[in-house]
Structure 1
């Protein structure tokens, strides 16, 4: 689709949201478009940044991600402290579920060549594997949420929010200090001769930080991705009569029951996900922006799709992906984000080797 008719469709959908849903959801759609455009335009891949650090000793992608986290935290943490009843942090309980989920997710995202946001924007750009992964990602996310209570019974403690525990100043200093430590570790891992910064990625980091903060302010909650996937499949399963949410500990929660019963356009995560797809599709509409994908073998398709399912399942166990757990978790002062990162990186060390074995 060319850009002009695509822009017309996006504008019409925006008007539809304003008229029939709400102004807030329409604004969140625009924020999602911005996210998708930046992710696709800057090729801001969280998965790729980690893989380049591991395989090529190139820290530029990871340093750009840390810059994004620092900028988002510098604004989000004071906002959370100033408006505690209006804004919520992305909190998740430290648990066995978190440890296992983050590790598996880190491995699977390298094989599937995309995390939650990466799968979205690459599907929007028409990458065949990511387009095929998207529905199985949704299936995995739904099943992971449906079984989450069983995983939490293995061991979990209450979520820890740094803002509530230490106040905004100490929470921000702890967050920035932790990010600085990770940055130094990435540079030391890479060596003195490595290129530290990539201008396009740094610009992308600034824009994504601004959009993440806008999402927090408009939605009242941090940027998320995987909940929307699980909700989409949960709606299908419920309508099909193969799933009764009232009997499930996760989906029987009032907010989740309400999301299942109302229009998907009312869900803040779903509407930004739709925006990300639209924004990436708009970028892909430029003829020079997309290159033909390398054909995959049957084995590569199977391995990639299995990895996509594991992405969805493990992301629910880990209370988010690179966006929900890392970006939103750390930038809003959640302890679980700091547990997620090292476990996911350990998983990525395995994942890049699996990816290399199957010659992706």
Structure 2
């Protein structure tokens, strides 16, 4: 498959991803932030389901095609942990991850321009002040052990939810409209995203990524990012939710800009964001996303505490 064909397929994948994210509101930020701020676990459950399906898909591809997925080079565990932690603090402050900023901009949220400007600045800062970049590793994990652990995690979340009152943001029930216009459950979004990613990697041998677009040298990431923007717009228009919303006041803009800077820097330290490091990494059966997510849990807790203690009054 030629480079032009791959770029075209990445653009299409971005459009489909942006559409699914917008309709289901599937969100890495909510999965971690709401866990610590509100003890709301619905999005956490959806993310665990996404991880379960991507790992299972990666293991299936490996069994069928042998060497298609073998992990991929990434930073040392310390680099992945640090990158995930820095990135997660940033995404909690910004209110979206990098992919989320693109599709939310597509649905009319102009505040995401500050987030993306911050990501660009953070990427530039990393180029000038690199961190933990000297050693790379390529490690894989036993997929079926991971599947078992993720199933246990899903059961634990379900047990916790049964014992808790309903708190945090819940999606509205589906209106009597077409399936496209009605809000999607985040669990449905997780299933569709997993199918899209595993199918794409089976057909092209290439994963997704968005953060490297800010290095201004990776056209594949730029194609996927552009698709996210278009997909967010299409999802909002078809769902009758498109509305241009202003950037907000000065203080929220500064907080989002700071969050973007941390995400841009953290994505380079940890060799990726929620799309490239985590989702693609899990299909590749790499250990990298697991280290990254451990760091992200710590970073999300720090970000949630910063919001709780110092920043809520400004948002």
Same fold (TM over 0.5): yes
Q: Which residue of 1 aligns with 2:120?
A: 138
Q: Which residue of 2 aligns with 1:22?
A: 4
Note the C-alpha offset of 1:194: 5.0
Deviations 1:179-224 (A, max 9, x none): 2343355456656135699771111111101111123124423222
- TM superposition score normalised by structure 1: 0.73
Q: Which of the residues 134, 137, 147 maps onto 1:158?
A: 137
Q: Is 2:159 aligned against 1:177? A: no
Q: Is 2:307 aligned against 1:325? A: no
Q: Which residue of 2 aligns with 1:123?
A: 105
Q: Which residue of 2 aligns with 1:238?
A: none
Preserved CA contact (<8 Å) 1:107 1:347: yes
Q: Which residue of 2 aligns with 1:211?
A: 196
Q: Is 2:211 aligned against 1:226? A: yes
Deviations 1:94-150 (A, max 9, x none): 3432222211111110000111221121122221221222133134235435654x5
Q: Which has the larger radius of gyration?
A: 1
Note the C-alpha offset of 1:81: 4.7
Note the C-alpha offset of 1:286: 4.6
Report the secondary structure of 1:308's partner residue: helix
Preserved CA contact (<8 Å) 1:98 1:319: yes
Preserved CA contact (<8 Å) 1:88 1:222: no
Moved more, 213-222 or 47-56: 213-222
Alignment of 1:205-284 (within 5 A): 205-230=190-215, 232=216, 235=217, 264=219, 267=220, 269-284=221-236
Mapped partners of 2:239, 2:201: distance in 1: 34
Preserved CA contact (<8 Å) 1:47 1:109: yes
Moved more, 347-356 or 62-71: 347-356
Q: Which residue of 2 aligns with 1:242?
A: none
Note the C-alpha offset of 1:285: 2.7
Q: Which residue of 2 aligns with 1:249?
A: none
Q: Which residue of 2 aligns with 1:312?
A: 264
Preserved CA contact (<8 Å) 1:31 1:214: no
- TM superposition score normalised by structure 2: 0.83
Unpaired segments of 5 or more residues in structure 1?
A: 1-17, 163-170, 236-258
Report the secondary structure of 1:105's partner residue: helix
Report the secondary structure of 1:126's partner residue: coil
Q: Decide whether aligned partners of structure 1 residues 147 and 89 sit closer, same or farther in structure 2, where only a CA change above 3 A counts.
A: farther
Mapped partners of 1:71, 1:125: distance in 2: 28
Q: Decide whether aligned partners of structure 1 residues 51 and 294 sit closer, same or farther in structure 2, where only a CA change above 3 A counts.
A: farther
Mapped partners of 1:353, 1:291: distance in 2: 31
What value does the CA root-mean-square deviation take over the aligned residues? Answer: 2.9
Q: Decide whether aligned partners of structure 1 residues 291 and 345 sit closer, same or farther in structure 2, where only a CA change above 3 A counts.
A: farther
Mapped partners of 1:326, 1:21: distance in 2: 24
Moved more, 314-323 or 279-288: 279-288
Q: Which has the higher helix share?
A: 1
Q: Which residue of 1 aligns with 2:176?
A: none
User: How many corresponding residue pairs?
Assistant: 298
Deviations 1:295-314 (A, max 9, x none): 63322211210210110111
Q: Which residue of 1 aligns with 2:178?
A: none
Q: Which of the residues 73, 79, 93 maps onto 2:61?
A: 79
Note the C-alpha offset of 1:75: 1.5
